[in-house]
Amino acid sequence: MDLDQITVALRSFWTVWLMLLMTGILVYAMWPGNRSKFDDAARIPLKDDGQEF
C-alpha cells in the first residue's frame, strides 16, 4: 500500500464519518422529545430579566 492509496482511503473514511456525524446531529435536532429544549433555548434572547444595560 503506497501513500496515494492511503490518502484515498482516508479521504473516503472522513467523508463517510462526516456524513454519519451530520446525520446524527440532524436526527438529534429533529427528535420530537428534544423540541421543548430547543424551543426554550430559542426564547432566551426574548426574555426580559429586568436588567437594563
Residue ranges per domain, the chain?
14-44
Instruction: Kindly report the pTM of this predicted structure.
Output: 0.65
pLDDT of residue 45: 86
d(CA 44, CA 42): 6
Buried/exposed code over 14-42 (b: 16+ C-beta within 10 A; e: otherwise): eeeeeeeeeeeeeeeeeeeeeeeeeeeee
Phi and psi at residue 43, to the nearest 5°: -85, -10
Q: Are 9 and 3 in contact (CB under 8 A)?
A: no
Q: What pLDDT, in 10s, does the model give residues 1-53?
A: 789 899 988 988 999 999 999 999 999 999 999 999 999 999 988 887 766 65
